[in-house]
Amino acid sequence: MGREMIRGRGANNAWLGPDVAVMARDSARQFARKEVAPLAERIHRHDELVPEAIIRQMAELGYFGMSVPEEYGGQGMGNLVMIVITEELSVASLASAGSLITRPEILTKALLKGGTEAQKRKWLPPIASGELMVGISVTEPDTGSDVASIRCRAERGDGGWYLNGAKAWCTFAGRANVLALLARTNPDPKAGARGLSLFIVPKDAFPGHEFEMRQSGGGVLHGKADATPGYRGMHSFTLGLERYLVPAENLIGEQAGEGKGFYLQMQGFAAGRLQTGGRATGVAQAALEATATYAAERKQFGGAIGDFQLTQHKLGRMATHVAAARQLTYAAARAMDADETAALEAAMAKLFASDVAVWVTQEGQLVHGGWGYAEEFAISRYVVDALVLPIFEGVKPILELKVIARALLGERAG
C-alpha cells in the first residue's frame, strides 16, 4: 500500500457510485486546484479573509444550495454530493473554501425542519444563491458544551426582539450577512433548553478583524476576531449585543418556534457534523498527497526516503485511515439522504474523521522532517488546521459521551 501511495502521489480515486457524485468530485477538484489552492498559503499566513472571487465562483457553481430543495432555489443534490464537494474544497483549504458551505448547511437544515413556509421562501433562495453569507452563533464566552445554559437574552419589544448578551467563536461573523443566533426567550432559568429560540439576525458584511454594526434605534452589534494558529480565512469572533433589534418574523418557526431553538440548532449541528466529516477527510487527504509526493522526492542515505520500508509502512497506514474516514462519512451522508434524522452516523463520522485528520497530518509532518515545520511547506498548515476539527461542533469528549453514547444507549433502551 505504501509503495502504491508513493507511486500515485496519494491521489484519491475512491469508488463513489452515482455518476452525479463522480462528476461533482471532478468539477470541484478542478475548481479547488485552479482557483483555491494558489491562494491558500497567502490567506493562511496573512490571516486574510476569503476573497470575494472564491465566494462568487462557489455561488456560481451552486455550492451553497446543495441541500436546499429545488422548489426553494437550490440544487437539491443531497448529502453525498455535498460531502464530496466539501472534501475536495478542503483538500485545497479548510478555511478559505471547505468550511464555507458548513454554515449555510446548518441554517438550511434548521429552516427546513422548523421554519414557516414564508420563512423558507424568504431565506432559502438567497442562501442557496450565495447572496447571503451565514454565521452560526451558539457558543458564549462562559458557555460552550452546556448549550442549554446559554444566557444571551431576547426580549420582546417594538415589533420584534431585543438581543442582549455576549457570544463567542462565531466564525465568519464579520463577512456574514445573517447570523443564526440562539438566545433565551424564556427568562426562567428552570426552562433550560426549552427556553431557547433560534433567530436569523441580519447585519452588514464587514471585512477585517473587528466591526461595529449600529442600528438607527440604538442597537449595537460589536465583533472582534480571536487570533488562532490555524483555520484562518473566515475569522472567528467574540460578539457583544446591546438592544440589537431583530424583527419578530425572524424567529425561526415564529410563535410555534418559541422555545424550540435548542432542538432546531441540534438538527442543524447534525448536518454540520456530516460536513465536518467531509472537511476532516479533505484535510487528511491533502496531508497524504503532500507526504507521498515529498517521500518520492526527498533523498537521504543515497535514496528517496519513500524507498525505506518504514516510510512505506507509515503511508500505508495513513492511506487506510483516510479511506476509512472517507467511507464512514459517505455512509453517514447516504444514511442522511435516506433519513434526514440520521444524526448518529454523522456524529461518528465527525468524531472519527477529525481524529484521523489530526493523526495523519502529524504523521505527514514527521515524514517531512524539519521542513514539515516550515511555513513554506503546506503540511505545516494542515497540522494547525486539523487541530480545530475535534473541538468545534461538539468537542470530542462531549460528542463521545453525550451524543454518540447517549444515542446508542437510548436506542437499546427503546
Ligand X SMILES: Cc1cc2nc3c(=O)[nH]c(=O)nc-3n(C[C@H](O)[C@H](O)[C@H](O)COP(=O)(O)OP(=O)(O)OC[C@H]3O[C@@H](n4cnc5c(N)ncnc54)[C@H](O)[C@@H]3O)c2cc1C
Q: Where on the chain is the footprint of ligand X (CB under 6 A)?
A: 136-139, 144-145, 169-171, 228, 231, 236, 388, 391-393, 395, 397-398, 401
Q: Whose CA is closest to 213, among 243, 191, 180, 183?
A: 243
Helix (H, G, I), strand (E, B) or coil at 358: helix
114 contacts: CB under 8 Å, gap ≥ 6: 198, 252, 253, 257, 260, 263, 264, 267
**Residue 68 in contact with residue 127, Cβ under 8 Å?**
yes
Residue in 212, 393, 400, 411 annotated catalytic:
393
Catalytic residue flag (residue 71): no
In the complex with ligand X, the residue whose CB is nearer, 218 or 229, is 229
Write down how long the chain is. Answer: 414
Other beta carbons less than 10 A from residue 193's beta carbon? 17
Closer CB to ligand X, 53 or 395, in the complex: 395
How, if at all, do strands 160-171 and 236-247 pair? antiparallel
Among residues 236 and 291, whose Cβ is nearest to ligand X? 236
- In this complex, which beta carbon is closest to ligand X, that of residue 196 or of residue 305? 196
Closer Cβ to ligand X, 310 or 405, answer by number: 405
Contact 147, 179 (CB under 8 A): no
Q: In whole angstroms, how close is the CB of 164 to ligand X at the nearest point?
A: 17
Q: In 10-73, at which residue ranges do the beta strands (DSSP E only) sit?
A: none
Please, are residues 302 and 378 in contact by the beta-carbon 8 Å criterion?
no
CB closer to ligand X, 137 vs 361: 137
In the bound complex, what is the minimum distance in angstroms from residue 271's beta carbon to ligand X? Answer: 14
Q: Would you state the cell numbers that stand for residue 43, as one nine-digit string?
A: 490567506
Min. distance of Cβ 237 from ligand X in angstroms? Answer: 9
**Which position's Cβ is nearest ligand X?**
144
User: Smallest distance from the beta carbon of 389 to ligand X, in angstroms?
Assistant: 10
CB of 95 to ligand X, least distance (A): 9
How far apart are CB 150 and ligand X at their closest, in Å? 10
Phi/psi for 137 (5° steps) reads -125, 95
- Which of helix, strand or coil describes residue 234? coil
Distance CA 246, CA 141 (A): 22
**CA gap 172, 130 in Å, rounded:** 14
Which 8-state DSSP code applies to residue 95?
I
Catalogue the active-site residues: 393
